[in-house]
Structure 1
């Protein structure tokens, strides 16, 4: 099993698909990486040589923010908004939708499970 950016890549999958298991690399970036290195996207991870795995690892380290660094960067961006106390920061603080969605109904993912209201019994 190949280990790239601290993630165990599944060996039986195609290289293009296996790279998407890394947080921060989606299908388009995976295609870009395989194209840049000249690796056929249809090849399986188990068929890659150690040298090719090393090339992929170096390409990702050099060009992309992935895994822990990306998670930390996103968390710091949200924290910055919250410290600024701008509208988006306040929405993050209150645990409400940030991008203008309605909250009168719906928004259950951000708000959490509905709280029962006392006095609604017959």
Structure 2
């Protein structure tokens, strides 16, 4: 298994698919990386040379925010919103949907399991 950005990349998958195992690299960025280095996207990770793996590792380290740094940046952005006490920050703090979705019904994923209310029986 090749190790890139602290993640074990599966060896039997295509390079473009395997790169997507890294948090912060999706399909578009994986295509961009392989295109920049001249690696065919259909090639398997096990067929890559050590030099190519090193090139991929250096490209990702130099030009992309991935894994721990990206998670930390996202958490800090949310924390900043919460500290500002703006609308989005308050929604994050209360655990409610942030982007304007309705909450009268639905939003169960964000709100958690339904809480029973006493005296609501017919």
Give yes or no for TM over 0.5. yes
Stretches (4+) displaced over 2 A: 119-122
The question of 1:59 aligning with 2:59 is answered: yes
Aligned to 2:69: 69
- What is the CA–CA distance in structure 2 between the aligned matches of 1:96 and 1:14, rounded to whole Å? 39
Q: Could you state the TM-score of these two structures normalised by the residue count of structure 2?
A: 0.98
Runs (5+) with no aligned partner, structure 1: none
**Which secondary structure does the structure 2 equivalent of 1:8 belong to?**
strand
Aligned to 2:27: 27
Q: Could you state the TM-score of these two structures normalised by the residue count of structure 1?
A: 0.98
Runs (5+) with no aligned partner, structure 2: none
- What is the CA–CA distance in structure 2 between the aligned matches of 1:60 and 1:103, rounded to whole Å? 40
Question: Shift of residue 118 of structure 1?
Answer: 1.5
- What is the CA–CA distance in structure 1 between the aligned matches of 2:98 and 2:111, rounded to whole Å? 11
The question of 1:114 aligning with 2:95 is answered: no
The question of 1:46 aligning with 2:46 is answered: yes
Alpha-carbon RMSD across the aligned residues, in angstroms, is 0.8
The question of 1:83 aligning with 2:83 is answered: yes
